[in-house]
Structure 1
Amino acid sequence: MGGVDLIPLVDEGLGNAAYLVDLGDGRALVVDVSLDLRGAWRAARGHGLTLAFAADTHLHADFVSGARQLAATEGARVLASAEGHREFAHTGLRDGDEVDLGGLRLRALATPGHTDEHLSFLLLDGSTPLGVFTGGSLLVGAAARTDLVAPERTEELARRQYASLRRLTTLPDDVAVWPTHGAGSFCTAPPDTRRTSTIGREKETNPLLRLDDEDAFVAALVGSLGSFPPYFHRLPEVNRRGPAVLGGAPELSTMDPAAVRALLAEGAWLVDVRPVAEFAAGHVPGAVSIPLRPAFASWLGWLVPPDVPVVIVRGADQDPAEIAWAAAKIAYTTLVGELAGGLPAWRAAGGATSSTALVGPERVGRAPVLDIRQAAEYAAGHVPGARHLELGELPARTGELPREPVVVMCGHGERAMGAASVLERAGHRNVAVLAGGPADWVRATGRSLEVGG
């Protein structure tokens, strides 16, 4: 890949990729790695490498950086922008600075826009550029969003992003492009795109790079921005100050039903990570449904306040380590444990349970429909007459919805069950969830979706 032994470390849930580079001497560089370092450690061990360098292209908003953890546990040298003013030991780099990696070199290129201090890292073998780690600057088929620093600076940073992308296009066409944000990232990337590219390919195919007019670029980029989880506002500062160094892998302690009941009485939240059908059949009243899947971390950070104690309910076949790591990598440190024995133990101890109706497409139309997908998904095609409210907005707006029977829908059912649980927690009743999504409704009814917002 680009003349270098490079291993992408993809987090499908966050839509991001870190990269491990074999430096050829038993050492490795990792770029934009998260606190969940399991993939990096596996890759390093599998290739007999030590993690000697950890570079961050910017102060990440969507995950806790693993760079400081690597410095503490592996002795890695942290490389990052001097303009980020990080409060932990690192090598601060400015535009044009180079770091000798022991044969290969890393050159810092100032590419502000996604953030003020953003750097891209050009990997060189002698004078030959091999590839560029573009972080949240140039993406495959897109550019990263510019509204994370402050809403009022979105356009200003979009103009800086325009200049940064033009700077990157001056690199040779065969230089590999290795961005951090990819398909599925809320930092903006088109769905179903490849995760790496080349400068030449992006010049030919990236719609934003084909806009030579700065105003047109800004309008296109800003117009494409959707919503993002609220923890994006917190994590840049967490990463600037320096994430806490973990003494070991995060774990979920077990708690008996009586202890869980006492915590709930004091204001703790219960998050049920079981599959949709299991939650529908029975759950603890007031529990929030966030099925354990790749997107779990994002929805945990979107639906649950970061400062409340959280207790997990899981199925016996679900890995508690995946839950604990998902919370840790978005700095959710208030997971106090899990219900020992899960829902069967709760029932055996006399705990009350609720159920939520899971219905087929034939029920759509008999009750009002609430579509809780992202705005772009809804505009692309929705059931005629469906009300739209994004799931991320729902917790703060449950009072705006009438307390009447409703069928909640999304693309497949997971987000819809999360929305139903939020409504039920707020006192709504007669809430049902469509098993499936718009495509299932079309197949069952033979009718067409409505397009537009």
Structure 2
Amino acid sequence: MEVTSFRTHGLGDQTYLLTHEGKGVLVDPQRDIDRFLNAVAQHDVDLRFVLETHLHNDYVSGGEQAALRSGAELVLPAAAAAAYRHTPAFHLEEIGSGGLTIRPLHTPGHTPEHTSYLVFIEGEPVALFSGGSLLVASAGRPDLLGPERARSLARLQHLSVRRLAALPPAVALYPTHGEGSFCTVAGVGRLTSTVGEELKTNPLLALADAEEFADRLLAEPMPIPAFYRHVGPANILGVPPMPLVRVREVDEPVAGTHVVDIRPRRTQALGMLPGSYGIELDDDFGSWAGWLLPYAEPITLVAEPGQDVAEAVTQLARIGIDTVQGVVRDLGPHAGQTYELAGLDDFVERLTQPDAQVLDVRMPEEREQTRLEGAVERFLPDLFAGGVPGELDQARPVLVACASGRRAAIAAGFLAREGYRPIALTGAGVPEVAAALGKPERA
């Protein structure tokens, strides 16, 4: 048996291809399925099954299309009741035959229909694909479907992860959600594990009481990206195949589109098109664009000559956004929306000036760890949704900070769009600023 992992860093997720004696099983594929089907071809295996552990909220599934193109059998949790043809997975029945069989385990909690898959080779349990149930040092969060159902789902998650932890210790654990995913309760380190290792190290498995477990899962919920509410329903109804990644070159933004500048932040700072949003292209570009802009409305990209626009379009398509209308690669003399970037020393020096005002765009849980005295605090998506805080004076420069510079640069572009004079901390974050000022690390 061999398991190949496909890591999608910007979403914090993994897709898996299990192969054994010429047979293949694909688990939780994302929409851009060519990378998975190419691997199937390279392994020269017959793809027998495409398994989905649950109706994903964080990405558009490629399961249906992968099954259609490969001829594999698509297996979904029975309770998902997806609107397209599939084989329903119930609980404890055997799927497959011969030396490779799959046993679905109903493991509700992350979602009501969630199903994990235990793989047997020659009758021996060897691998568990746990989706968003038991994760490495964590568990899938139960609150994505709303606060009304969160505690009920948390109690179910308690039963589910303990059910999985009762499997043989040597069984390899392959979760879909991992570090960087907003579907996890807490950060994780390693991407895969074993059942036995989780029994020793996963703090959630030490909680025998369901209510205590639910309290822990719901104590400090992370924000939920805005695009999640669109992706989940799309995965119930089914989505069209991934479109061809071709973007026409245009001289100016297409009328009626949102302009998104994907150039490096140092280039953006020198000047962006008035009214544009700056989201530097990186692994998490699609997530931030889907979270911060109105979902699936038309977009014009601004890119440097030679910049990988196909990567930006692919990331958007993974969350169901197929609305890129064109790309501008030469801004000419029209780039007039600017902001400044500052390293740590420069930022700290400016912070001590009498007219200094600071905007902290980190998540609430990050702010609980380290705070800057007097800073206006607004999580980045809340800044986009609610507008510039009234406490900020447009006549004075605004020092913007996050944990590393990524979100600060996005916020700086937004502030510049609104007529402010932002200075974004880059290459460092609030903890480093607090240390430089001689402040304690914890609030």
Cα distance in structure 2, aligned partners of 1:370 and 1:451:
18
Please state if 1:62 is matched with 2:61: no
Q: In the alignment, is the contact (CA less than 8 A) between 2:296 and 2:320 conserved in 1?
A: no
Please state if 1:316 is matched with 2:305: yes
* Amino acid aligned to 2:262: V
Match for residue 415 of structure 1?
A: 407
SS of residue matched to 1:408: strand
Cα distance in structure 2, aligned partners of 1:316 and 1:449:
45
1:433 to 412, 421, 424: 424
Pairwise CA distance, 1:33: 1.0
- Change in Cα spacing, 1:205 to 1:352, as seen in structure 2 (3 Å) is closer
* Amino acid aligned to 1:13: G
Please state if 1:346 is matched with 2:331: yes
Cα distance in structure 2, aligned partners of 1:423 and 1:357:
11
Q: In the alignment, is the contact (CA less than 8 A) between 1:370 and 1:386 conserved in 2?
A: yes
Aligned residues: 433
Q: In the alignment, is the contact (CA less than 8 A) between 1:51 and 1:74 conserved in 2?
A: yes
Please state if 1:137 is matched with 2:127: no
Q: In the alignment, is the contact (CA less than 8 A) between 2:57 and 2:231 conserved in 1?
A: yes
* Amino acid aligned to 2:289: L
1:29-428 matches, within 5 Å, as 29-100=25-96, 102-188=98-184, 190-191=186-187, 193-246=189-242, 248-257=243-252, 260=253, 263=255, 266=256, 268-339=257-328, 342=329, 345-347=330-332, 350-359=333-342, 360-361=346-347, 362-366=349-353, 367-404=356-393, 405-425=397-417, 427-428=418-419
* Amino acid aligned to 1:410: C
SS of residue matched to 1:327: helix
Bigger Cα displacement from structure 2, 108-117 vs 317-326 = 317-326
Query: Residues 326-376 of structure 1: CA distance to partner in whole angstroms, max 9, x if unpaired?
Result: 01000012111211xx2xx221xx534221111232222432111111222
Please, which runs of 5 or more residues in structure 2 have no aligned partner?
Answer: none
Bigger Cα displacement from structure 2, 43-52 vs 226-235 = 43-52
* Amino acid aligned to 1:283: M
The percent of aligned pairs where both chains have the same amino acid is 35
Q: In the alignment, is the contact (CA less than 8 A) between 1:173 and 1:200 conserved in 2?
A: yes
Cα distance in structure 2, aligned partners of 1:377 and 1:36:
32
Bigger Cα displacement from structure 2, 99-108 vs 282-291 = 99-108
Q: TM-score, normalised by structure 1?
A: 0.91
Cα distance in structure 2, aligned partners of 1:240 and 1:22:
28
SS of residue matched to 2:312: helix
SS of residue matched to 2:205: coil
Pairwise CA distance, 1:44: 2.2
Pairwise CA distance, 1:249: 3.0
Q: In the alignment, is the contact (CA less than 8 A) between 1:283 and 1:354 conserved in 2?
A: yes
* Amino acid aligned to 2:263: R
Cα distance in structure 2, aligned partners of 1:256 and 1:308:
20
Please state if 1:17 is matched with 2:17: no
- Change in Cα spacing, 1:295 to 1:307, as seen in structure 2 (3 Å) is closer
Cα distance in structure 1, aligned partners of 2:65 and 2:309:
21
* Amino acid aligned to 2:15: A
Cα distance in structure 1, aligned partners of 2:304 and 2:34:
23
SS of residue matched to 1:208: helix
* Amino acid aligned to 2:13: N
SS of residue matched to 2:113: coil
Cα distance in structure 1, aligned partners of 2:185 and 2:311:
25
Pairwise CA distance, 1:313: 0.7
Cα distance in structure 2, aligned partners of 1:196 and 1:177:
6
* Amino acid aligned to 1:54: V
Bigger Cα displacement from structure 2, 248-257 vs 164-173 = 248-257
Cα distance in structure 2, aligned partners of 1:128 and 1:406:
61
- Change in Cα spacing, 1:146 to 1:294, as seen in structure 2 (3 Å) is same
* Amino acid aligned to 1:384: E
* Amino acid aligned to 2:246: E
Pairwise CA distance, 1:8: 1.0
Match for residue 5 of structure 1?
A: 2
Q: In the alignment, is the contact (CA less than 8 A) between 1:9 and 1:18 conserved in 2?
A: yes
SS of residue matched to 1:358: strand
Q: In the alignment, is the contact (CA less than 8 A) between 2:50 and 2:74 conserved in 1?
A: yes
* Amino acid aligned to 1:124: F
Q: In the alignment, is the contact (CA less than 8 A) between 2:31 and 2:241 conserved in 1?
A: no
* Amino acid aligned to 2:32: D
Pairwise CA distance, 1:401: 3.0
